[in-house]
Amino acid sequence: MCAIAGILFKNGRRGHFDMSTGEALTRILDATLHRGPDSAGWALYREPEPGRLRMRFLIPDGGDAESETATIQAVLEAQGVQVIDASPLGCTIGMTVCFEGDLLALTHAIEHQVKLVSVGESLDIIKDVGQPLDLAPRYGIGDFDGAHGIAHIRLATESGVHPDTSHPFWACGFADIATVHNGQITNYWIMRRRLERRGMTFQTENDTELIAVYLAYRMSRGASLEDALKTSLADLDGTFSYLVATRDAIGYAKDKLAAKPMVKYEDDDMIVISSEEVGINRLFPGRALATTEPAPLTYGLWSRSK
């Protein structure tokens, strides 16, 4: 029960759009704030640095940045991860690391000791309890000007209000994949147990995490992202519109009831997605936009380079 947002610039062009990507995502969220006042989050795709991984962690309740940084560093180094840089940001700690090994194995090894939010060459997930306009300056969201990103505001339904139950969710163990979702997965426990029996792990009881883990599991078994999106339509019950972002694309899936809104605007240079047209209109004041709404039981992938 929320609002989702996404922006993707095609072929590196920005046309006449002069707002930073972070600023634009924040404005979409703010325009739809009535849909989700509990928490907000962004999945930002930054420029990759060769040979480096970005990792972001949550500081647990009552923890402080300094001791948590030390803990995380120790945990990472024990796994052969070389920490290049660590800097706290709000309730999170961002790290740049060198790691050559298997990310899935690393994730499984550390996920019970530290609160991992995202890992990727590009991906950086920032999320916290609060509202987008308050959080954005604190987390420097407006400075982000990459070619795509997704974002979310949340109205909690069946799990609590904490930074870690905020969206986006990283597809645990799979670099650069993040999900935001509006809706409710109603076979959550069956699917969760099914995935857990196959070795996947969960940090929260939030159903969006289930989508991320589901996609991760399917891809770990060799499915393409598109294929994973497709089978999610049958495997996940309930009603949902979700976005998934990768290093260079944004995908979506929408269930057969199509009850959760998702409006798309597309021109030669960009694609904008919001739960309501008012979100898109915030980027283009005074303009009448030709928007479309994906049909029930559909999925798709929009690429940065086509």
**How many chain residues interact with another protein (CB under 8 A)?**
65
> Could you tell me the smallest distance in angstroms from the CB atom of residue 119 to another protein?
23
Looking at the Cβ atoms of 12 and 295, the one nearer to another protein is: 295
Draw the binding track, 158-187, toward another protein (x: CB under 8 A; -: no contact).
xxxx--------------------xxx-xx
Q: Is 284 left (phi over 0), alpha (psi -120 to 50) or beta?
A: beta
Encode burial over 166-191: b for 16+ CB neighbours within 10 A, e otherwise: bbbbbbbbbbbbbbbbbbbbeebeeb
d(CA 115, CA 112): 7
Nearer to another protein, 248 or 266 (CB): 266
Options 2, 91, 98, 172, the catalytic residue: 2
User: Shortest distance, CB of residue 211 to another protein, whole angstroms?
Assistant: 13
Q: What is the nearest approach in angstroms of another protein to the Cβ of residue 80?
A: 29
Does 75 bind another protein (CB under 8 A)? Our answer is no
Binding flag, residue 132, another protein (CB under 8 A):
no
Question: What is residue 70's three-state secondary structure?
Answer: helix
- Part of the chain binding another protein (CB under 8 A), chosen from 82-90, 128-136, 170-178, 285-293: 285-293
Does 286 contact another protein by CB under 8 A? yes
Q: CA 113: distance to chain centroid?
A: 22
Span 212-241, contacts to another protein by CB under 8 A: 214, 217-218, 221, 223, 227-228, 231, 235, 237-239
* 7 to 26: interface string for another protein, x by CB under 8 A: --------------------
* Shortest spacing between CB 238 and another protein, in angstroms: 6
Of the two residues 184 and 208, which places its CB atom closer to another protein in the complex? 184
Q: Does 3 bind another protein (CB under 8 A)?
A: yes
Question: Quick check: 109 and 159 in contact, CB under 8 A?
Answer: no
- Examine the residue annotation and report whether 2 is marked as an active-site residue of this protein: yes
CB-nearer residue toward another protein: 118 or 206: 206
Q: Which residues, 6 or more positions from 214, have their beta carbon under 8 angstroms from its beta carbon?
A: 191, 195, 228, 232, 235, 236
Closest to another protein by CB, 84 vs 133, is 133
Are residues 225 and 246 in contact, defined by beta-carbon separation less than 8 angstroms? yes
On the 0-12 / 13-18 / 19+ scale of CB atoms within 10 A, 229 is buried
Pairing of strands 238-245, 178-185: antiparallel
Q: Which two tokens stand for residue 285?
A: 């004041």
- Exposure string for 250-289, b = 16+ CB within 10 A, e = fewer: bbbbbbeebebbbbbbbeeebbbbbbbbebbbbbeeeeee
Tokens of 168: 């986006």
Residue 244 makes CB contacts below 8 A (sequence gap 6+) with: 171, 177, 178, 179, 211, 212, 215, 225, 229, 250, 251, 252, 253
- We find the least distance from the C-beta atom of residue 151 to another protein, in angstroms, to be 15
Please list every residue from 250 through 279 that binds another protein, using CB under 8 A.
Answer: 256-261, 263, 275-278
Q: How far apart are CA 270 and CA 284, in angstroms?
A: 13
Residues forming the active site: 2
Which residues are near another protein by CB under 8 A? Answer: 1-3, 34-38, 155-161, 182-184, 186-191, 193-195, 197-198, 205, 214, 217-218, 221, 223, 227-228, 231, 235, 237-239, 256-261, 263, 275-278, 281-282, 285-291, 293, 295-296
